[in-house]
Structure 1
Amino acid sequence: MANFNRVILLGNITRDVEIKYLQSGMAVTELGLAVNDRRKGQDGQWIEETTFVDVTLWGRTAEVAGEYLGKGSQVLIEGRLKLDTWETDGQKRSKLRVVGEKMQMLGSAKGGGGGGNRGGGGASYDDGADYGEPMSAPAAPQRSTRNAPPPPPQDDIPF
């Protein structure tokens, strides 16, 4: 059976970015990301909901986030879900978080936020390294779509 674990989030950073380094020299940072959703309720009124997500970035991606991002910065994160479990005072605890593998910075530098489709600048970063456990199914290779012909149709659809 095939598995797929992919998350794409666009939101604002909830606190300043703090980089930590492991004994091996690997950089790591934990971001808080606020993702807003707007929908109509049963009464026809618009309802604003904010979901807070913890994101972990590793390596050069973590360093770039610490250098260029701050509280309020808008960022797009692509990664995978990971369930952390631990025990505190005899009680089992768990927390779902995102391990960020790609990052797209939107808007202006540190704390500027904004941007998006309103003419704000942006830059993306993916150091190409694989941090964490391997996924069950390998990810498809990414190709540049600039001046490239469309891929041929696939006859072997796995579902």
Structure 2
Amino acid sequence: VAGLLSLRLYSPFISGWVISSHFDARRHMAGSVNKVILVGNLGRDPEMRSMQSGDRVANLSVATSESWRDRQSGERREKTEWHRVVIFDQKLVEIAEKYLQKGSKVYLEGQLQTRKWSDQSGQEKYTTEVVLQRFG
């Protein structure tokens, strides 16, 4: 479901991903899927802003990390990716503002969207974000 935000404080419910070899995408998927799932930590407090309509928007910066052991040196390595997340659903915006803060562990489901905007000099820029439109 697009726009689902689960605000469970993290519990170790994910032990790994299971991919079924019995799933035939050609039979079960008539269209395409744009779904992003992130389990990570907020890098800063949610940034809240208001639109001209009066609706509020929450912007999150979410870090996800993967770690591995370097085969040659045996050293542990880690790579962190930062994700821009935008929440439009008013209920979720309220929840994010009330309960989330820098360091919070979050589970997010949304859609990947790229939008175009112009900077102060009029130059076109692009940004890709995980967008949560609606709850449930």
Higher relative contact order (CA 8 A, sep 6+): 2
d(CA) in 1 for partners of 2:116, 2:53: 24
Question: Deviating runs (4+, > 3 A) in structure 1?
Answer: 87-92
The alignment's TM-score, normalised by the length of structure 2, stands at 0.67
Alpha-carbon offset, residue 87 of structure 1: 3.4
State the match for 1:104 in structure 2: none
Q: Aligned-residue CA RMSD in angstroms?
A: 2.0
Aligned residues: 104
Q: What per-residue deviation string (whole Å, max 9, x for no partner) do you get for residues 9-46 of structure 1?
A: 01111111232232333221100111111123342432
Matched to 1:56, the amino acid is V
Q: 1:57-91, CA deviations, whole angstroms, 9 ceiling, x for partnerless residues?
A: 12110110000010111101100101122233354
Matched residue SS, 2:31: coil
**Aligned-residue identity in percent:** 35
Structure 2 gap ranges (5+): 1-29
Written as runs of structure 1 = structure 2, the 5 A alignment for 1:1-159 is 2-43=31-72, 44-58=74-88, 59-88=90-119, 89=121, 91-101=123-133, 127-128=135-136
Normalising by the residue count of structure 1, what TM-score does the alignment of the two structures yield?
Answer: 0.58
Pick the structure with more helix per residue: 2
Runs (5+) with no aligned partner, structure 1 = 102-125, 129-159
